[in-house]
With several copies, the nearest count.
Chain A
């Protein structure tokens, strides 16, 4: 199905249920779907598992979602940052669970979910606390750890341009987790800087094919106050 194209952030995130696993794109602020996260907070959805590289910084975005008490568990590679005070407090108070995953495993485990891989043997983390209790096996003289896919009920990502078929392009290092998360969730919601007509994106430069896009939030229309 071609994606729904909407200009109302609340409409974009409507239907995200309590207890969902939500994949949230971005690395630092690059590629962070801030408009969708704000709408998710307004939606009231709670008991969420959030999968994202970081666990929020400052008081906005993911940090605000955490502060609002909507997150049961965070799966991320790097929760502790100089300005991750919201997460730090909730974690120390036992208000939020944490699964720390090496960044490459985070990406590859979501890629596996999107690609139909049941599990994979991975070279990262062997002999470290993050592999404790996990199955290991030797192939060709090297030891690997068995890792399982991470899939989402919903992915919230940001892209640069999207056409009305949902084909997406990204910009510079804001690409990061977006293309992987788009494949790993049952429903992918994308905020884009601009929506263009079908045919306006060169088929050779599409990064996320439209098959992965379910809802497209047109930020240009949001700025204009809807359309």
Chain B
């Protein structure tokens, strides 16, 4: 399969990333969207997609963020933001909710990341900075708990250091758990066989390959 290079445009912004991910979520999938940017994906799921959102604090078929008098302190998402309930929702306790996740019943989980390795290792919970207070939340459960784990992130840090790496240097969240990485400059498949570029945005494949310290499968110099 050849790589599609979108060179007539710049890199994707976070809403374009969210839209791209939403487009790749199968009809009727059960999906968990991680805290932060991944929640944007919900805005791009079209009506009739049949996608059911799970929030690990005990709910299926979560609706959009609550507005004004919809706000109910007993109804929040994993980011502790007030949300709403869609028809056909259900509530369950934390052990049942994580059993659902860890038992592999969710189809897709979308997460942010500090680093992803070409083999799908994920680092998204701890920078490893000395003195940082560790806080994992549900990250490690989410990482291993869905049939497919998509990462949504910028490809480079503010200091222009690549976040797609040959091996994570930050403390790991999960081993070999990520299957796809959506970034501003490119979408990648990652896994046991290594990383492969699916699409690029605002950058040529050869330039991308030079900026990364990762062997890209299917990329011929």
B-binding residues in A (CB < 8 A): 1-2, 27-31, 77-81, 87-88, 91-92, 98, 100-108, 110-111, 113-117, 122-130, 163-165, 167, 170-180, 183, 198-199, 201, 203-204, 206-207, 209-212
Contact = CB atoms under 8 A, between A and B. Distances in A.
Nearest to B78: A27
B145 interface: yes
Contacts of B132: 80
30 contacts: A27-B57, A29-B73, A78-B137, A79-B133, A79-B135, A81-B135, A92-B131, A104-B102, A106-B94, A108-B99, A113-B103, A115-B98, A115-B103, A116-B101, A123-B102, A127-B175, A129-B134, A165-B88, A170-B91, A173-B77, A174-B73, A174-B74, A175-B93, A177-B93, A178-B93, A199-B87, A210-B60, A211-B52, A211-B60, A211-B105
Question: Which residue of A1, A78, A104, A167 has the most chain B CB atoms within 10 A of its CB atom?
Answer: A104
Interface string B88-114: 111111110111111111100000000
B58 interface: yes
Interface string B22-58: 0000011110000000000000000000101011111
Given A116-B145, A127-B175, A198-B87, A172 B98 contact: no
Closest 5 CB pairs of A and B: A104-B98, A199-B87, A115-B99, A104-B141, A116-B102
Interface residues of B, number: 61
A126 B207 CA distance: 35
B95 A108 contact: yes
Given A28-B80, A183-B103, A211-B60, A107 B88 contact: no
Given A77-B135, A176-B94, A211-B52, A167 B57 contact: no
Contact of A77 (B52, B138, B175): B138
B76 A30 contact: yes
B173 A104 contact: no
A170 B91 CA distance: 9
B5 interface: no
A203 B101 CA distance: 19
Contact of A204 (B91, B94, B137): B91
A167 B90 contact: yes
A87 B87 CA distance: 39
A173 B140 contact: no
Contacts of A198: 87-88
B141 A175 contact: no
Given A30-B74, A116-B99, A100 B93 contact: no
Given A104-B101, A127-B174, A110 B95 contact: yes
B131 to A, nearest CB: 7
B144 interface: yes
A123 B52 contact: no
Given A30-B80, A183-B103, 12 more contacts: A27-B80, A28-B76, A30-B57, A30-B74, A80-B134, A101-B136, A115-B98, A127-B175, A129-B134, A203-B59, A211-B30, A211-B106
Contacts of A165: 52, 61, 88
B162 interface: no
Interface string B9-33: 0000000000000000001111000
